[in-house]
Amino acid sequence: MADKTEMHRIYWYWLCNIPGIGRKKIERLLEEFGTPEEICRQKRVEWFTEKEQASFEESKKIKWLLKYRQTKENGIKIITCEDEDYPKRLVCLHDRPYVMYVKGRLPDEERPTCAIVGARNCTRYGATLARELGGLLAKNNIQVISGLARGIDGEGQFGAVREGGASFGILGCGVDICYPEENFKLYEQIQDRGGLISEFAPGTTARPTHFPMRNRLISALSDKLIVVEAKKKSGSLITVDFALEQGKEVFGVPGRVTDALSEGVNNLLRMGAGVLSRPEDILEEFDVSNGMDGAKDKKNNFMLAEKENMLYSMLDLQPKNIQYIIEETGMDVTAVSEILLELQLKGLVLECGKNHYAKIKI
CA geometry: angle 273, 267, 169, nearest 5 deg: 65
pTM of the model: 0.81
Q: What is the pLDDT of residue 195?
A: 98
Q: For the structural domain made of 113-286, what CATH number should be given?
A: 3.40.50.450
d(CA 357, CA 351): 5
The number of residues in the chain equals: 362
Torsion of CA 29, 96, 238, 162, to 10 degrees: -140
How is the chain split into domains, by residue range?
Answer: 1-73, 113-286, 298-359
> What is the pLDDT, as a whole number, of residue 2?
64
The pLDDT value recorded for residue 102 is: 99
State which fold the 298-359 domain adopts: Arc Repressor Mutant, subunit A (1.10.10)
Same fold yes or no, 113-286 and 298-359: no
Which of 165, 170, 225, 215 shows the shortest CA–CA distance to 189?
165
Measuring CA to CA, which residue among 258, 196, 250 is closest to residue 228? Answer: 250
**Amino acid at position 334, single letter:** T
Report the percentage of the chain scoring pLDDT > 90.
Answer: 70
Mean predicted lDDT score pLDDT of the chain: 90
Separation CA 116–CA 236 (nearest Å): 10
The whole-number average pLDDT for the span 25-50 is 96
Say yes or no to pLDDT of 297 above 80.
Answer: no
pLDDT, tens only, 307-361: 888 888 888 766 788 988 998 888 999 999 889 888 877 778 877 767 888 876 5
CB 36 within 8 A of CB 12: yes
